[in-house]
Structure 1
Amino acid sequence: MRRQEEQLVGALFDVLEAEGHGEARQRLLDAYESGASEGRDELIERLITELVAVLNEQLGPREGAAVLTDAIEFLFDRLVSVVEVAPIAIVVVDADGAVQLWNAGAERLFGWSEADALGGRLVATGSDATGPFGDSLSRLRRGDRLTGVETRHPHRDGSLLDIRYWAAPLRDGDGGFTGATYVATDVGERKRREQRLTVLNRVLRHNIRNDVNVVTGHLEALAAERPDGDPHVEAMERRLSGIVDLSDAARRVERLQASDDEAGRRAFELSELVADRVEEFAAAHPDAAFDIDAPDGVEAVAHELLPYALDNLLENAAEHCAPSPRVRVTVRAERDGALVTVDDDGPGLPTHEREVLTRADETQLTHSTGVGLWLVRWIVRASGGELRVDGNDLGGTAVTVALRG
Structure 2
Amino acid sequence: MSEHVEQLVGILFRTLTEEGYTEAQTALLDTYQNNSNTDKEELTEDLFAEVVNGLDRHLETEEEIEVLTTAIEQLLNRFSSVVEAAPVAILAVDASGQIELWNDGAERIFGWSEPEVKQRSYPDVIADSPEDMAAHFARLQEGHQLTGIETLHRRKGGSVLNVRIWASPLQERDEGFEGATFVISDITEQKQREQRLAVLNRVLRHNIRNDVGIIQGHLDLLAESVDGDSEHIRAMEDRLSTIVELSDAARHIEKLRDKSEVELTTVDLKRVIRERVDRLQREFTNAEIRTAVPDSASVMAHELFPYALDNVLDNALEHNDAETPLVEVDVSTGGKSVRRRTTVSVADNGPGIPEFEREVLTSEKETQLNHSNGLGLWLTRWIVRNSDGTLTVEKSAWDGTRIVIQLPTRTR
Any residues of structure 2 matched to 1:219-234 within 5 Å, and which?
A: 219-234=219-234
Given the alignment of the two structures, is residue 368 of structure 1 paired with residue 372 of structure 2, yes or no?
A: yes
Q: 1:51 to 1:322 in 2, by over 3 A?
A: farther
1:208 Cα shift? 0.6
Given the alignment of the two structures, is residue 197 of structure 1 paired with residue 201 of structure 2, yes or no?
A: no
Runs of at least 5 residues in structure 2 that lack an aligned partner in the other structure: none
Which residue of structure 2 lines up, in the alignment, with residue 153 of structure 1? 153
Which residue of structure 1 lines up, in the alignment, with residue 240 of structure 2? 240
Identical pairs, percent: 47
Give the Cα separation in 2 of the matches to 1:326 and 1:238.
24
1:141-169: CA deviation from partner (whole Å, max 9, x where unpaired): 01121122222222111211121212211
Q: 1:50 to 1:276 in 2, by over 3 A?
A: farther
Would the aligned equivalents of 1:132 and 1:152 in 2 still touch at CA under 8 Å? Answer: no
Of 193-202 and 221-230, more deviation after overlay is shown by 221-230
1:60-116: CA deviation from partner (whole Å, max 9, x where unpaired): 666455444443333322211111000011111111111100001100110011111
Give the Cα separation in 2 of the matches to 1:348 and 1:28.
62
Q: 1:342 to 1:266 in 2, by over 3 A?
A: same
CA RMSD in angstroms comes to 3.0
1:294 Cα shift? 2.2
Which residue of structure 2 lines up, in the alignment, with residue 283 of structure 1? 282
Which residue of structure 1 lines up, in the alignment, with residue 349 of structure 2? 345
Q: 1:44 to 1:131 in 2, by over 3 A?
A: closer
Structure 2 SS opposite 1:87: coil
1:397 Cα shift? 2.4
Any residues of structure 2 matched to 1:17-32 within 5 Å, and which?
A: 17-20=17-20
Structure 2 SS opposite 1:119: coil
1:332 Cα shift? 2.2
Give the Cα separation in 2 of the matches to 1:42 and 1:95.
24
Q: TM-score, normalised by structure 2?
A: 0.86
Give the Cα separation in 1 of the matches to 2:30 and 2:68.
20
Q: 1:74 to 1:327 in 2, by over 3 A?
A: farther
- One-letter amino acid of the counterpart of residue 110, structure 1: F
Of 3-12 and 159-168, more deviation after overlay is shown by 3-12
Q: 1:396 aligns with which of 389, 393, 400?
A: 400
Which residue of structure 2 lines up, in the alignment, with residue 171 of structure 1? 171
- One-letter amino acid of the counterpart of residue 93, structure 2: V
- One-letter amino acid of the counterpart of residue 140, structure 2: L
Give the Cα separation in 1 of the matches to 2:60 and 2:289.
74
Q: 1:275 to 1:31 in 2, by over 3 A?
A: farther
Runs of at least 5 residues in structure 1 that lack an aligned partner in the other structure: none
Q: TM-score, normalised by structure 1?
A: 0.87
Which residue of structure 2 lines up, in the alignment, with residue 309 of structure 1? 308
Which residue of structure 2 lines up, in the alignment, with residue 141 of structure 1? 141
Which residue of structure 1 lines up, in the alignment, with residue 99 of structure 2? 99
Which residue of structure 2 lines up, in the alignment, with residue 84 of structure 1? 84
Q: 1:26 to 1:306 in 2, by over 3 A?
A: farther
Of 1-10 and 382-391, more deviation after overlay is shown by 1-10
Q: 1:24 to 1:107 in 2, by over 3 A?
A: same
- One-letter amino acid of the counterpart of residue 294, structure 2: P
Which residue of structure 1 lines up, in the alignment, with residue 362 of structure 2? 358
